Chains A and B, each alone.
Chain A
């Protein structure tokens, strides 16, 4: 058979439609099916700085996101989801009427006893609404109660770190999909040509906890220039940023001028537009060499700022110092800034471990919100504080007078959000008296991601990329909802 006729015959109605519409899906398809290098060249030299055609879908409230990711699964029970009933059932067995045969992780499913544990901390009411917050270890967060929305009904199907943290960052438990920041880089680009659209910082200075994976900030099946760029406190702030010893800036500039001349000559002869893209990438690299150290240099910050972010804030690489950097990046327009704080995986010694972690994050996270607010940035910046799941109401291991652990729990957990179109000063959703199941207004992790996209002016259902027969999106294939009750 003539292959051309065969080809014609195989062109289905659906394929024909997808070819003829000049919409996002088709553009994305083109970028994924073979045109990647050329498209990248075109978009990088274009005037829109990488913004995808048709985006945003509607007027955005937020321009950027600062995600304070608490890796490991902070205990919602001990921080935000206050239940007085727990004091009465402390030490008693978790009733089957609550657990309802739901699965546990392999770490505690073999336990003979599941004694309920009330928080070994005091809670007080804060803000105009009088929301309950742990007053022993979250005093600073308590002071921003009127600026944040506490979501008590976050939930996820995953109960182990790897799938759960992959899920919340990419919308699916399977690995290989683009992360939230990569989606934003792909869709919105960056208003700042000298900095990447997606920056990641991992806190140092605390005991490292469960593992992280570079795929959490990877671009998955989107072009890899959308992957998160890690900014570091030790060595080069961005890998390979610093010129080698003995090669100074003046000489580097001369080398780049020569390089641009040679590459331009090649571009003339070869006709390949990718060469021009390369010339501009080298110029951006040179600009980053200047702009990044300026961004990372906190010496211009005032004493008042350091005092606001707390005693750790002058130590490089701490969560506190990274919070100041996050604010500086927000000021410079970086659209997605993600901080990872490890060490929340408190299977044992929870009372001391959670206190240690709160000592590191409470003041800086609250200061970040206050600081953004006083600089007028909170209105168009979404701040998210939360982890991949919560923890069990029952003790993992032996419950003693002052010590216990908690296992993973995905059926409900607490996250707070602030700014960028989220309603300030509210509590959203209700869990049962045992902090175990959701009673009212569940917010699936994909619902939260859909809501954040909404604040950024993006309809999550229309923000898709064709991939292996799927309309891939950040919020997964099961369907997600923008949580209207959270939005102002």
Chain B
């Protein structure tokens, strides 16, 4: 068989005994280059499905052979054999074979043209190759009939055929809207749609206050919760829609409100009267979600890489996590290095059967199903992450360096600087005392254990600043580790 590398079915030709074989094309939907680092397998789709039979005289050419070349190969007629025949006695086929042989082997111009054609083809393939692949669904040319399945079993369709449409209790789709996803989008954003704006506003409110007006953001139906402030929800929803769905404007409006800017400090009694702050009598106070915990540690330490976009990255994770769940132990986790270790958690590669543990421990869902409301737990495993995960220890190291380099000349100034970076305020004198006491104890410890200081400063792949005193660095790292574990650092208030 020959293949011109076009990624199209018609680019493939199959010959049987030198004759072009006629075949049906069932699928012709490849959209990318066929260039791949994968091994070419003969008589096998993958290592566990093999041809039951024998394969003989396999030869691979680095270009698509022409018809005449294939014929020559299949008929096993060496040119010398044809030349031995007197010219007038040669068949037309033999004449053609000789001509082609001459062109392909002797005619410099022809050979150059063929070479050029191949190069252009390769260039074209390279140019047409997409920069990145985005999987998307597209409608079939003719939609398949769909039936209600008895108790959801895939092999038990009923007679009941279903059609595109929206639930009867909601407004109907506009008459002129196409019965597809475009029509659905138009319907979602039509001005009398009762849900879209309310649901969206409720989610943004939840993001900022920890809880939505409707505590069941996934369910605005009869089983969902009633909104705590229905008029405010409605007002914000209408305003959001009329602003042209301007998310930034909505967020700005909320965060500039007096309600949002209230202090979250309140008496214990107040907390117990309204534990989940439904009445909004105080500012919201809740633990950051896992991604933000990591991002904020990276930002505070100065390690955060703010680059946007591009493929996902694989920062530190304990070894073996993919292997113990993957089919046949594959694929293999290969950790990234350098600046990729410090990108925002948004870009962390997500394997759903084994998600990044430091985020899963902080309640990040596996992403196997849609989750719009995460639990917010408080567990010992979370404490272990922020105390011991390489990512956080390394961040503490760098916060220590920042304290020494940018924090001022006295240790009081240095510790206040770190505290300010992490919590947004200066420490009170009672707090500074505790922080400095730990610093003094740690300093004493590392002065007596220089090797331990070196070890602590080698956690993580980034180098330490060797111009700084390693004992002081290590002692401040312990303090920084404590600062990263403060309730106030982990909590948005």
Contact = CB atoms under 8 A, between A and B. Distances in A.
Contact of B219 (A10, A235, A468): A468
**Which of B265, B318, B487 counts the most A-chain CB atoms under 10 A from its CB?**
B487
Given A208-B323, A273-B272, A238 B353 contact: no
B382 A281 contact: yes
B398 to A, nearest CB: 14
Interface string B455-473: 1111100000000000000
Interface of A: 3, 6-7, 10, 33-38, 40-41, 44, 103, 157, 175-176, 202, 204, 207-215, 218-219, 222-225, 229, 232, 234-236, 238-248, 250-252, 254-255, 258-259, 261-263, 265-267, 269-275, 277-279, 281-282, 284-285, 288-289, 468-469
B357 A265 contact: no
A219 B270 CA distance: 31
B320 interface: yes
Contact of A235 (B319, B366, B452): B319
B216 interface: yes
Nearest to A273: B271
B179 interface: no
Given A41-B378, A263-B486, 11 more contacts: A204-B324, A207-B328, A213-B353, A239-B381, A240-B384, A240-B389, A246-B459, A255-B438, A258-B482, A259-B482, A285-B381
B17 interface: no
B377 A234 contact: no
15 contacts: A7-B230, A212-B325, A224-B377, A229-B381, A240-B318, A241-B388, A245-B456, A246-B458, A246-B459, A250-B445, A255-B481, A258-B438, A270-B264, A279-B487, A285-B387
A7 B325 CA distance: 49
Contact of B431 (A10, A210, A225, A265): A265
Contacts of A176: 368-369
B259 interface: no
A223 B377 CA distance: 7
**Which of A36, A44, A207, A265 counts the most B-chain CB atoms under 10 A from its CB?**
A36
A270 B266 contact: yes
Interface of B: 153, 155, 211, 215-216, 218-219, 222-223, 225-226, 230-231, 264-272, 275-276, 278, 285-287, 318-320, 323-329, 352-355, 357-358, 360-361, 363, 366, 368-369, 375-385, 387-390, 393, 428, 430-431, 434-435, 437-438, 441-442, 445, 451-459, 474, 478, 481-482, 485-488, 490-491, 493
B223 A468 contact: yes
B286 A37 contact: yes
Contacts of B361: 239
B340 to A, nearest CB: 21
Contacts of A269: 265
A10 B276 CA distance: 23
B378 A240 contact: no
Contacts of B269: 271
A266 B265 CA distance: 9
Given A40-B377, A251-B445, A281-B378, A157 B223 contact: no
Contacts of B387: 240, 243, 252, 285
A399 B230 CA distance: 69
Contacts of B431: 262, 265
Closest 7 CB pairs of A and B: A246-B456, A246-B455, A469-B223, A38-B275, A34-B215, A285-B380, A285-B383
Contacts of A254: 438, 441-442
B172 to A, nearest CB: 24
Given A240-B385, A271-B268, A235 B318 contact: yes
A236 B318 contact: yes
Nearest to B226: A7
A208 B328 contact: yes
Nearest to A288: B380
B324 A208 contact: yes
A103 B155 contact: yes
Contacts of A242: 388
Contacts of B438: 254-255, 258
A288 B384 CA distance: 10
Nearest to A29: B225
B278 A34 contact: yes
Contact of A208 (B264, B329, B354): B329
B384 A36 contact: no
Given A240-B388, A259-B482, A266-B488, A208 B320 contact: no
Contacts of A239: 318, 357, 361, 381, 384-385
A445 B428 CA distance: 59
Contacts of A212: 324-325, 353
A142 B435 CA distance: 63
Nearest to B210: A37
A223 B170 CA distance: 32
B493 A270 contact: yes
Nearest to B435: A258
B378 A44 contact: yes
B152 to A, nearest CB: 8
A240 B222 CA distance: 43
Contacts of A266: 486-488
A210 B379 CA distance: 31
Given A235-B318, A469-B223, A284 B380 contact: yes
A300 B390 CA distance: 31
B488 A214 contact: no
Given A239-B357, A270-B266, A259 B486 contact: yes
Nearest to B353: A213
Contacts of B454: 246
Contact of B276 (A34, A202, A267, A285): A34
Contact of A247 (B286, B320, B437, B456): B456
A377 B320 CA distance: 33
Contacts of A6: 230
A40 B275 contact: no
Nearest to B477: A247
A348 B467 CA distance: 62
Contacts of B355: 214
Contacts of A223: 375, 377
Nearest to A222: B375
Contact of A251 (B354, B363, B393, B442): B442
A273 B318 contact: no
B258 to A, nearest CB: 20
B397 to A, nearest CB: 10
Nearest to B266: A271
Contacts of B354: 214
B381 A238 contact: yes
B487 to A, nearest CB: 5
Contacts of B482: 255, 258-259, 262
Contacts of A44: 378
A288 B375 CA distance: 23
Nearest to A11: B226
Contacts of B287: 37, 274
Contacts of B487: 263, 266-267, 274-275, 278-279
A229 B355 CA distance: 14
B455 A245 contact: yes
A36 B482 CA distance: 27
A258 B478 CA distance: 11
A214 B325 contact: yes
Contact of B325 (A35, A211, A262, A278): A211
B358 A240 contact: yes
Contacts of B276: 34-35, 37-38
